[in-house]
Homo-oligomer: A and B are copies of this chain.
Amino acid sequence: MPPLSPLSYQQVRLTGGFWAQRQKINTTVTIPAIYQQFIENEYFKCIHPDWKPGVSRPAHIFYDSDWGKWLEAAAYSLALNPDPDLEAKVEAMIAQLASLQQPDGYLNSHFILVEPEKRWTNLRDWHELYCAGHLIEAAVALFQATGSRSLMDVMIRYVDYIDSIFGREPGKKRGYCGHPEIELALVRLYHATGEPRYLKLSQYFIEERGQQPHYYDQEAWARGDDPKNYWAKTYQYCQAHAPIREQERAVGHAVRAMYLYSGATDIARETGDASLLKALETYFDSTLKQLYLTGGIGPAAHNEGFTADYDLPNESAYAETCAAIALFLWAHRMLNLTGEGKYADVMEQTIYNGILSGISLEGDTFYYENPLAVDRQKRTQQPRSQHRQKWYSCACCPPNVARLIGSMGGYLYAQTDQAIIIHHYAQGEASFTFHGKPVHLSVKTDYPWNGSIHIMLTPEQPAAFNLRLHVPGWCRKYSLQVNGQALATRAQDGYLAIERTWQPGDTLSLDLEMPVDRIYAHPQVCYDRGRVALRRGPVVYCLEGADNPDPVDWISLPRHARLEATYQPDLLGGVMILHGRGARILAPEASGLYTNEEPRYEPCEITAIPFFAWDNRAEGDMRVWINEI
């Protein structure tokens, strides 16, 4: 299959249901809340030409990226909900940042205001190109959303300067950023501008990474440092231990890995490079062996990243929100490059679970880490903050969630010359241009709470194409009607394909049966042995202290206990809950810690809520993997 072209979020309207509600909160609460945090955390003072020591904290090396992600989120919001006040704030922030730009085009608040002598001296650790990447993404998003060239022009000057510094040509530095991100941003800039130099620069960054002699060694020696003193101990941390095709498995810092692989997928797509795609498929399969049920990746705090296959502890899960987002972004690229449904499944697994858990239902507090269990009995060994926070000293996650939710429409649909594809189901409307003719499509569904999806097609005139509908991996039974007539068809590679000449007003009803699934982990995942998780459709559930007898881990679920799903419109913003009869272990009659009395249980009512909705009430235990008896 040829690569699929995703439909831009600007061609999609989310008109109700799950995602419209979240986009509304994103625009009305989250984006203003982050702006307020920029004020309170002195971003406006330190990303400012008048800054000097004493005025405020200095700009951190990654503050520009926080601005960039927020500007990108604001762009998506402005495109869908014009707002002169927000637009004025955006332009003021751009102007303030642009006023720092150096005559040669260089632009980084930290390395202009705080440590100017250190420009480009430590690409391994210091995020300059990473920050540039996020600002490039913001520039493209704003240009496409509002037509504003203010950041676009600034960033083109900066990128042209970067292009003059880095590359394999004589006299250039053979560097690349320790934190990938600019690679995928340059491909976006290439698409927005048509300038092939930007694609070439991205490709250079991807291909140069991990080559010998190693740039980070040479750069360290040039600083008078010994590369052996690298704090992270191995270049696996930043995926620079080997060239891109020779890395064998997904390793190191999870966000860096995902952004690198995303950029590399863009390059594989643009160049048709089969060896690169093959390597990326290997890394994706490796990621699947290190993937929490919630779509989280990177179990370890010490490297914010990967450890070993199957090493997925629950209480101490790092599972950074940004890493789940980055996996979503990479899976989207792999999906559109290959058309394989398994990538759409991973997108669902992340978005309905480990990404949304990173933001409160009210939209103004955030998690950086997303454990799969909180157990106050274990807290002494693994203390962690007990609620989402308004901000973090490393605040990458909040604006990352905002930009993702704001652009959610852009991940749902795609097309090729022959086909229109629905990857994900959300209530709303999509406007395609198919062989130059408009094709309008509307979706009605309560997904993810309900597997009934009603689609109406309104091509401007009858149009022959293959309509491809994703059947999620979790779905074992489904049925399809076209214009009220049952159509027997089976999904291949995760998609149903309906080939016909579509008439205005044609309808499809896809019914994905959505029972409560009991999920077991592979025995290699030793942390989940003897435990079961609950999933309904794409939504993973958890037991939370607010609904269940305390402590939560005293609850077991009998193997054949019946669980009822009921929609609760007034609970947690409207969620489907699962309810049933569990068993609560009884303390033994004997005193002391150890007894030969067999464990005894008493029946108890249990209620499971979606994992993403945990910690929106009082503090308490939480657990995805439940003891099974």
**CA A522 to CA B530, docked complex, whole Å:** 18
Given contacts A530-B530, A598-B559, contact A593 B522 (CB under 8 A): yes
Stretch among A221-229, A374-382, A488-496 lining the B interface: A374-382
**CA A551 to CA B526, docked complex, whole Å:** 10
Chain B CB within 8 A of A220 CB? no
Identical chains in the assembly:
2
Contact B313 A522 (CB under 8 A): no
Chain B CB within 8 A of A308 CB? yes
Chain B CB within 8 A of A553 CB? yes
Chain B CB within 8 A of A100 CB? no
Chain B CB within 8 A of A95 CB? no
Contact with B along A411-431 (1 / 0, CB 8 A): 000000000000000000000
**CA A351 to CA B300, docked complex, whole Å:** 37
Question: Which residue of chain B is the closest to A379 with respect to CB atoms?
Answer: B308
A residues 16-36 near B (Cβ < 8 Å) are none
A residues 406-458 near B (Cβ < 8 Å) are none
Chain B CB within 8 A of A61 CB? no
Contact partner, A380, options B307, B518, B551, B593, Cβ 8 Å = B307
Smallest beta-carbon distance A290→chain B, Å: 9
Chain B CB within 8 A of A275 CB? no
Stretch among A116-124, A174-182, A584-592 lining the B interface: A584-592
Contact B596 A518 (CB under 8 A): yes
Contact B307 A524 (CB under 8 A): no
Contact B522 A594 (CB under 8 A): yes
Chain B CB within 8 A of A627 CB? yes
Residues of the B chain whose Cβ atoms lie less than 8 Å from the Cβ of A521: 593-594
Contact A593 B291 (CB under 8 A): yes
**CA A293 to CA B521, docked complex, whole Å:** 29
Contact with B along A548-591 (1 / 0, CB 8 A): 00010110100100000000000000000000000001111000
Total count of chain A residues near the partner, CB < 8 A: 51
Given contacts A316-B381, A380-B311, contact A627 B529 (CB under 8 A): yes
Chain B CB within 8 A of A104 CB? no
Residues of the B chain whose Cβ atoms lie less than 8 Å from the Cβ of A593: 288-289, 291, 293, 310, 312, 521-522, 524-525
Contact A530 B377 (CB under 8 A): no
Smallest beta-carbon distance A49→chain B, Å: 40
Contact B381 A520 (CB under 8 A): no
Contact A520 B595 (CB under 8 A): yes
Chain B CB within 8 A of A217 CB? no
Given contacts A311-B378, A517-B596, A594-B520, contact A553 B529 (CB under 8 A): yes
**CA A559 to CA B598, docked complex, whole Å:** 9
Contact B520 A596 (CB under 8 A): yes
Smallest beta-carbon distance A582→chain B, Å: 14
Contact A596 B529 (CB under 8 A): no
Q: Is the interface of A mostly helix, strand, loop or mixed?
A: loop
Contact partner, A288, options B586, B592, B598, Cβ 8 Å = B592
Question: Which residue of chain B is the closest to A313 with respect to CB atoms?
Answer: B381
**CA A553 to CA B598, docked complex, whole Å:** 21
Chain B CB within 8 A of A597 CB? yes
Contact with B along A360-399 (1 / 0, CB 8 A): 0000000000000001011011000000000000000000
Residues of the B chain whose Cβ atoms lie less than 8 Å from the Cβ of A530: 530, 556, 627, 629
A residues 79-127 near B (Cβ < 8 Å) are none
Residues of the B chain whose Cβ atoms lie less than 8 Å from the Cβ of A288: 592-593
**CA A594 to CA B380, docked complex, whole Å:** 30
**CA A268 to CA B299, docked complex, whole Å:** 50
Chain B CB within 8 A of A487 CB? no
Question: Which residue of chain B is the closest to A345 with respect to CB atoms?
Answer: B592
Contact B375 A595 (CB under 8 A): no
Given contacts A311-B380, A316-B381, A377-B311, contact A595 B526 (CB under 8 A): no
Residues of the B chain whose Cβ atoms lie less than 8 Å from the Cβ of A529: 553, 585, 627
Chain B CB within 8 A of A484 CB? no
Contact A519 B596 (CB under 8 A): yes
Residues of the B chain whose Cβ atoms lie less than 8 Å from the Cβ of A585: 523, 529
**CA A377 to CA B526, docked complex, whole Å:** 7
Chain B CB within 8 A of A599 CB? yes
Question: Which residue of chain B is the closest to A533 with respect to CB atoms?
Answer: B594
A residues 136-151 near B (Cβ < 8 Å) are none
Question: Which residue of chain B is the closest to A349 with respect to CB atoms?
Answer: B594
Residues of the B chain whose Cβ atoms lie less than 8 Å from the Cβ of A522: 587-588, 592-595
**CA A311 to CA B526, docked complex, whole Å:** 20
Question: Which residue of chain B is the closest to A585 with respect to CB atoms?
Answer: B523
Residues of the B chain whose Cβ atoms lie less than 8 Å from the Cβ of A525: 593
**CA A519 to CA B595, docked complex, whole Å:** 5
Residues of the B chain whose Cβ atoms lie less than 8 Å from the Cβ of A524: 377, 587, 593
Smallest beta-carbon distance A562→chain B, Å: 16
Contact A519 B594 (CB under 8 A): yes
Residues of the B chain whose Cβ atoms lie less than 8 Å from the Cβ of A518: 596, 598
Contact B598 A520 (CB under 8 A): yes
Question: Which residue of chain B is the closest to A596 with respect to CB atoms?
Answer: B517
Contact with B along A592-629 (1 / 0, CB 8 A): 11111111000000000000000000000000000101
Residues of the B chain whose Cβ atoms lie less than 8 Å from the Cβ of A289: 593
A residues 455-479 near B (Cβ < 8 Å) are none
Residues of the B chain whose Cβ atoms lie less than 8 Å from the Cβ of A594: 293, 519-522, 533
Q: What 19 additional pairs, Cβ within 8 angstroms, besides A377-B524, A520-B599, A523-B587?
A: A293-B594, A310-B377, A311-B377, A311-B380, A313-B381, A375-B526, A377-B526, A517-B596, A519-B594, A520-B596, A520-B597, A520-B598, A521-B593, A521-B594, A523-B554, A523-B585, A524-B593, A530-B627, A530-B629
Q: Could you give 10 example pairs across A and B, Cβ below 8 Å?
A: A293-B593, A300-B380, A311-B380, A375-B526, A377-B526, A378-B526, A522-B588, A522-B595, A529-B553, A559-B598
- Which 10 pairs show the lowest CB-CB distances between chains A and B? A307-B380, A530-B530, A308-B380, A523-B585, A377-B526, A522-B593, A517-B596, A519-B594, A311-B380, A526-B553
